[in-house]
Amino acid sequence: MDVIGQQMANASNLGDAPAKSEHRPGSGIATEEKRKQKKTISQEVMLSVRDLEVSFKTFGGEVQAIRGVSFDLYKGETLAVVGESGCGKSVTANTIMGLIPQPPGRIRNGEVIFKNRDLTKLNKKALREIQGVDISMIFQDPMTALNPTLKIGEQLIEGLRTHHKVSRAEAKRKAVEMLTLVGISNPEERLKQYPHQFSGGMRQRIVIAIALICEPELLIADEPTTALDVTIQAQILELFDEIQHKTGVGVILITHDLGVVAKIADRIAVMYAGKIIEIGNKREIFYNPQHPYTQGLLNSVPRLDLQEEELKPIEGTPPDLFAPPEGCPFAARCPYAMEVCDRIYPATTQLTSQHTVDCWLQDPRAKAVLS
Amino acid sequence: MPLYILKRFIMMIVTVLIIATLTFVLMRAIPGSPFDEERTSNPTIQANLEKFYKLDQPMPIQYLNYLKSIVTFDYGPSIKKPNESVNTLLARGFPISFELGMATIIVAVISGIILGTFAALRHNGIIDYGAMTFAVVGISIPNFVLATLLIQQVAVNWQLLPPATWSSPKHMILPVIALATGPTAIIARLTRASMLEVLTQDYIKMARAKGLTPFRIVARHALRNALMPVVTIMGTMLAGILTGTFVIEKIFAIPGMGKYFVDSINNRDYPVIMGSTVFYSAFLVFMLFLVDIAYGFLDPRIKLHKKEGEV
């Protein structure tokens, strides 16, 4: 082990950041991966995140919440971003949406390319013309995401009327249409009601309707089902599916619930300690996970078909992002850790056209040494 | 809703009745009588006077007479100024006090909310520190001290504004500033605190994600939710301001209720004390009632009526 580590360290005078060019998944989404026939995922990249680094100033120092995140989103696909609490999922979503408060937040590096524009460089006014129009967001808790003192009709149409010159009547007609789309009966009556007159699941439907009313191309859903009970979760996921078929909207789904991922994601990005450590299509991640963390994550899901009494957690805790480790952040918890893992962050290895992983075990040089 | 108002109305009457009774008891518990000063008066005159004002009757009868005067809204003539009834005194003094009080509360609410909102939006910035420094100073300085300082500087040294009396809008400026500074400071602090809390709420983040303008987010989404605590203290604050006017009226020589009220207590002028106390308490109780109604308008979740529940 020692020798291998030494050799690998020598072999790699690496730039420590993930290499840029080889990171892009190749073209050609395998058609057999499509969950349903109707759904069409084009090969056109609609959103491209490159080397994004965001940190937050706190009294204790600067937290490096995300430390170099890169991924592409194709038109009409659902990309799930999974990982444990504090790994930077929500920060990634909020950065794309332009909702990082600065200060204390700071985008240290990287770009978010959408429609040939870098969203991180736009001024607030230009950003507002994209927020809610081209990119919309769905929040975790529908109980708090709606303003308790405004009628839901008002909350539905205000975004539309801010961005498009439509009459009140026209906006109302559109609002009724949206409520029907998300499966709320009696939409005309419902528009005049306040959020407290709706149940949690209904409210999440309204939040989705609000997000979709300007017909965005990209929908960012930050744990949209976490606050709902299981039966409602299933309904909301059905709704997501249905809407994506109808509108062809691209979805970034932030979640820690692998069940949700299995149901609606096309591709999955696994985040750990502010980095995407593995990304691939659903089949690859679920059946052929390559990063030890992804494996641990999947192993920790309780299974009903096996006679095991205890959960299998990943031992240890994630690293402190005030002072993130130089090498692989998972090394301290990784059962296969080598010496090199502690020292140098692994380069991104392309496994298949869509599947990449940041792990020394998969590095071609490691395989060369072993064989 | 009508049932709620009826209930509240009965409660209001009971409250006023309790205040009236306490006033009566306290008033009679203070040693002395309205005729003490006239040392030379002989016992016969004294007895006649007492008879005229029905003060010779036993306490329970006096109490009943007093209740009757409340219900009929006829407190009879003042003892010290026999040719003026309590009602004329009220009619002359109260509108001026009311004007001063209302001007104060309007100034305090508007400037307090603006100050607090900007402080919250520029949290930990210069505006925030400036506003909060003002707030601490404003809360700390008693209004009568501020009043004298204002008269000395603005009216006497700079000769910018009249120092006293109540005859033109110009005369209102100094007393209103003196009276409004404290409440403004309190409202500013309260608004800032509750605004800071509201601004971290998910629905504000959602409003930002909709791409709304910052003005709309604050005015439409944040402010209304942030104002609940302000409305809550409005009731008690109103009481404070209206009674606070008494001192300010004295300093600025404003011919409002304050003068009559204080004089009447010093002179044991029973009808005036009773009349003005009951009138003021009824007014305040009514204002508190309005504040409660205002809740319902600000926050639809607060239901003033019980049934007619959810859909």
What digits encode the pLDDT tens for the residues A137-155?
988 888 888 998 888 988 9
The reply to whether residue B225 touches residue A147, judged by beta carbons under 8 angstroms, is: yes
Q: What is the CB neighbour count within 10 angstroms for residue B241?
A: 23
Q: Which residues contact B177 (CB under 8 A, 6 or more apart)?
A: B107, B146, B150
Q: Which residues of chain B have a CB within 8 Å of the CB of A159?
A: 210-212
Task: Tell me which residue in B202, B212, B224 faces A158 most closely, judged by beta carbons.
Answer: B212
The answer to whether residues A223 and A87 touch, using CB atoms and an 8 Å cutoff, is no
Mean pLDDT of B205-211: 88
pLDDT computed for residue B120 by the predictor:
92
- A199 and chain B in contact, CB less than 8 A: no
User: Rounded CA gap, A276 and A278, in Å?
Assistant: 6
The reply to whether residue A137 touches residue B301, judged by beta carbons under 8 angstroms, is: no
The residues with which A250 forms a beta bridge, in sequence order, are A218
pLDDT computed for residue B41 by the predictor:
65
Positive or negative, the CA dihedral B221, B223, B224, B226 is positive
Q: Token pair of A282, please?
A: 């659903």
The answer to whether residues A95 and A102 touch, using CB atoms and an 8 Å cutoff, is no
Residue of B nearest to A186 (CA): B311
The reply to whether residue A139 touches residue B211, judged by beta carbons under 8 angstroms, is: no
pLDDT computed for residue B39 by the predictor:
60
Task: Tell me which residue in B208, B210, B225 faces A158 most closely, judged by beta carbons.
Answer: B210
Residue of A nearest to B213 (CA): A128
Give the SS3 label for residue A359.
coil
> Rounded to 5 degrees, what are φ and ψ at B301?
-75, -25
pLDDT computed for residue A335 by the predictor:
86
User: Rounded CA gap, B208 and A97, in Å?
Assistant: 10
Furthest-apart CA pair in chain B: how many Å?
A: 85
Q: Token pair of B153, please?
A: 């500087």
If phi > 0 it is left, if psi is from -120 to 50 it is alpha, else beta; for residue B157 that is: alpha
SS3 assignment for B85-146: EHHHHHHHHHHHHHHHHHHHHHHHHHHHHHHHHHHHHCCCCHHHHHHHHHHHHHHHCCHHHH
Share of chain B above pLDDT 90, in %: 23
User: Rounded CA gap, B206 and A46, in Å?
Assistant: 23
SS3 assignment for B196-207: HHHHCCHHHHHH
Task: Tell me which residue in A97, A140, A197 faces B209 most closely, judged by beta carbons.
Answer: A97
Q: Where along chain B do its domains lie?
A: 95-264
- Count Cβ neighbours within 10 Å for each residue of B37-74 and write b for 16 or more, e otherwise: eeeeeeeeeeeebeeebebeeeeeebbeebeebbeeee
Q: What is the CB neighbour count within 10 angstroms for residue B99?
A: 16
Distances (CA, A) of A350 to A10, A128, A285, A290, A356: 22, 37, 14, 11, 4
Measure in Å the smallest separation between the Cα of B249 and chain A Cα atoms. Answer: 40
Q: Is the ipTM of this complex over 0.85?
A: no
Measure in Å the smallest separation between the Cα of B123 and chain A Cα atoms. Answer: 11
Mean pLDDT of B249-274: 84
User: Rounded CA gap, B129 and A203, in Å?
Assistant: 39
User: Rounded CA gap, A118 and A305, in Å?
Assistant: 47
Share of chain B above pLDDT 70, in %: 95
> Rounded to 5 degrees, what are φ and ψ at B70?
-65, -45
* DSSP letter assigned to residue A23: G
Measure in Å the smallest separation between the Cα of A57 and chain B Cα atoms. Answer: 15
Tokens 């409202």 found at:
B187
Residue of B nearest to A194 (CA): B300
pTM of the complete model: 0.77
Number of H helices, E strands in chain A: 14, 12
The answer to whether residues A269 and A279 touch, using CB atoms and an 8 Å cutoff, is yes
- B210 and chain A in contact, CB less than 8 A: yes
User: Rounded CA gap, B96 and B99, in Å?
Assistant: 5
Say if residue B248's pLDDT is above 50.
yes
User: Rounded CA gap, B140 and B153, in Å?
Assistant: 19
Q: What is the CB neighbour count within 10 angstroms for residue A177?
A: 12
User: Rounded CA gap, A331 and B103, in Å?
Assistant: 69
- B296 and chain A in contact, CB less than 8 A: no
User: Rounded CA gap, A245 and A225, in Å?
Assistant: 19
- B197 and chain A in contact, CB less than 8 A: no
The residues with which A113 forms a beta bridge, in sequence order, are A48, A118
Closest CA to A46 of A93, A96, A114: A114
User: Rounded CA gap, B273 and A209, in Å?
Assistant: 63
The reply to whether residue A99 touches residue B225, judged by beta carbons under 8 angstroms, is: no
User: Rounded CA gap, A307 and A300, in Å?
Assistant: 14
pLDDT computed for residue B303 by the predictor:
66
User: Rounded CA gap, B175 and B158, in Å?
Assistant: 16
- A247 and chain B in contact, CB less than 8 A: no
pLDDT computed for residue B119 by the predictor:
93
- Which element (helix H / strand E) includes A173? helix A168-181
Architecture of domain B95-264: Orthogonal Bundle (1.10)
Measure in Å the smallest separation between the Cα of B290 and chain A Cα atoms. Answer: 19
Q: Token pair of A81, please?
A: 């971003």
User: Does a cis peptide bond (omega within 30 degrees of 0) precede residue A302?
Assistant: no
Q: Which residues contact A234 (CB under 8 A, 6 or more apart)?
A: none
Q: State which residues of chain A have pLDDT below 50.
A: 1-37
The reply to whether residue A128 touches residue B216, judged by beta carbons under 8 angstroms, is: no
Task: Tell me which residue in B203, B224, B298 faces A146 most closely, judged by beta carbons.
Answer: B203
Mean pLDDT of B264-270: 83
Amino acid at A25: P
pLDDT (tens digit, 9 = 90+) per residue, B98-139?
889 899 999 999 999 999 999 999 888 899 999 999 999 999
Q: Where along chain A do its domains lie?
A: 141-215
The reply to whether residue B225 touches residue A148, judged by beta carbons under 8 angstroms, is: yes
The answer to whether residues A343 and A14 touch, using CB atoms and an 8 Å cutoff, is no
- A193 and chain B in contact, CB less than 8 A: yes
pLDDT band for B187, please (50, 70, 90 cuts): very high
Tokens 């690293």 found at:
A319
Residue of A nearest to B303 (CA): A196
Say if residue B266's pLDDT is above 60.
yes
Closest CA to B127 of B192, B200, B199, B224: B192
> Rounded to 5 degrees, what are φ and ψ at A274?
80, 10
Q: Which residues of chain B have a CB within 8 Å of the CB of A189?
A: 311
